Amino acid sequence: MDDEPLSFEEHRRRRDENASTVRCARCGEWIVATATRCPECGIHFQGEAQDFAHPSESPTGQNGQPRWVIGIAVLLLVAMAVGFLAMR
């Protein structure tokens, strides 16, 4: 076991650098999606900010997949369908 003290500031910095953002449900400012309180207006979320974001502003789709993954999957399906129809 390591006896070094934990650095919560380092943890917060790394979390904030790698986090996706959503708009606050109250004030509309962009905040970290996993925030439990908006640093701008002070509202406390029962859960995380992303739980209260409008689905169009959510960093992930309804099934939890990032939107770009869903978009690529749809494009691949369309390309496969076009290729199949072109072979006929």
Query: Per mean pLDDT, which range of 20-24, 31-35, 62-66, 84-88 is the poorest?
Result: 62-66
pLDDT in tens, 28-47: 888 888 888 889 998 888 87
Which are the contacts of 75, defined by CB distance < 8 A and separation ≥ 6? Answer: none
Amino acid in the structure at residue 13: R
In the chain, where are the structural domains located? 1-57, 58-88
> pLDDT-derived band of residue 76, with 50, 70 and 90 as boundaries?
very high
CA–centroid distance for 4 within its chain: 32
Q: CA-to-CA distance for 75 and 88, rounded, in angstroms? A: 21
Q: CA-to-CA distance for 6 and 72, rounded, in angstroms? A: 40
> pLDDT-derived band of residue 14, with 50, 70 and 90 as boundaries?
low
